[in-house]
């Protein structure tokens, strides 16, 4: 995927009625696709020769590719336009990707950009009939909040996996700055070789936790993902205990995201109205 393919800003927004139909179609495609993966695709992949690691890698690469096609579907139907900056810095061994979480599709776009990514996902998705099959096949980590989850995430980083984490734990409240939990920083300091912040903006705001899917914005929304400079975990652990280093890293990340998001006109409280 070259830079030209990643920047697909379309000059005109399709009519609202069409975008409502297209949004409903996207949800239908996603749900049916999840069931097909669970009932057809992954059972077929499971019989392909290979050990557990090979099967998990195939599952992750399959999900990544299908998510990329889904992003293209949303773009071509006029639901969104998108822009990716710095994708070449994603997918490093032992890399912890830390992102804010303004919309429902953040994890879809991020996984679509990293072919063999692990991800910390909401525990409820493990029980969802549309998502639990792909999640289990890919070996994603359940965000249970337990010490076992922290250990599992740190172990994944230590063996060289790329791990995607949303420190907020849930989608950002519209018009409010993100609030990070310290668990992500603790995981990073215990296992990451490098930490990479990813700032996500969605304008106009849509697909938030507080909105039903059919409450679409007045125009097609633009999804922008900006990959920041790598952060070395050792710069926070030198001379500090783990709890202090974790607090310092969490504060650093929080301030970084506040600063970067403040550059966006619609960041906090200035969302475009929905007509």
Q: For residues 109 and 166, what is the distance between their CA atoms, to the nearest angstrom?
A: 13
- What is the reported pLDDT for 169? 85
Has residue 4 been placed in a domain? Answer: no
Q: Is residue 243 part of a domain?
A: yes
Do the domain assignments include residue 267?
no
Domain hosting 134: range is 14-262
Q: Which of 141, 125, 96, 103 is CA-nearest to residue 38?
A: 125
Residue 268 confidence class, pLDDT cut points 50, 70, 90: low
pLDDT in tens, 225-266: 999 999 999 999 887 888 899 999 999 999 999 999 988 765
Stretch (H or E) spanning 157: helix 147-158
CA distance 252 to 93: 23
Assigned domain for 1 exists: no
Question: What does pLDDT average to over the chain?
Answer: 89
**What is this structure's pTM?**
0.89
pLDDT of residue 130: 81
Average pLDDT over residues 99-124: 94
Q: For 25-61, write each residue's pLDDT tens digit.
A: 999 999 999 889 988 998 898 889 889 899 999 999 9
Answer yes or no: is 133 within a domain: yes
On whether residue 273 sits in a domain, the answer given is no
Say what the pLDDT of residue 1 is.
Answer: 45
Instruction: CATH number of the domain at 24, please.
Output: 3.40.1130
Backbone angles phi, psi at 99, to 5 degrees: -130, 150
Per-residue tokens: 187: 């995981």
Residue 269 falls inside a structural domain: no
Residue 20 resides in a domain: yes
Number of domains in the chain: 1
Backbone torsions φ then ψ of 4, nearest 5 degrees: -60, -35
């Amino acid at each position: 995927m070259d830079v030209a393919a990643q920047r697909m800003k379309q000059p005109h927004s399709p009519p609202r009625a069409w975008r409502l139909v297209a949004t409903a179609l996207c949800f239908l495609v996603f749900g049916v696709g999840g069931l097909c993966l669970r009932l057809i695709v992954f059972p077929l992949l499971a019989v392909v020769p290979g050990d557990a690691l090979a099967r998990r890698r195939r599952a992750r690469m399959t999900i990544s590719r299908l998510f990329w096609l889904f992003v293209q579907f949303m773009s071509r139907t006029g639901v969104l336009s998108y822009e990716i900056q710095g994708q070449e810095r994603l997918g490093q061994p032992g890399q912890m990707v830390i992102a804010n979480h303004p919309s429902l599709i953040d994890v879809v776009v991020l996984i679509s950009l990293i072919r063999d990514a692990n991800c910390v996902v909401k525990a409820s998705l493990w029980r969802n009939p549309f998502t639990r099959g792909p999640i289990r096949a890919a070996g994603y980590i359940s965000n249970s909040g337990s010490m076992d989850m922290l250990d599992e995430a740190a172990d994944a980083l230590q063996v060289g996996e790329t791990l995607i984490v949303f420190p907020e734990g849930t989608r950002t409240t519209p018009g409010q700055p993100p609030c990070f939990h310290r668990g992500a920083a603790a995981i990073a300091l215990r296992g990451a070789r490098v930490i990479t912040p990813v700032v996500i903006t969605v304008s106009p705001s849509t697909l938030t936790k507080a909105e039903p899917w059919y409450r679409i914005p007045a125009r097609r929304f633009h999804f922008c993902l900006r990959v920041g400079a790598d952060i070395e975990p050792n710069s926070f652990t030198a001379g500090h205990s783990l709890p202090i280093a974790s607090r310092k890293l969490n504060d650093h990340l929080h301030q970084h995201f506040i600063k970067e998001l403040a550059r966006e006109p619609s960041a906090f409280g200035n969302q475009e109205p929905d007509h």
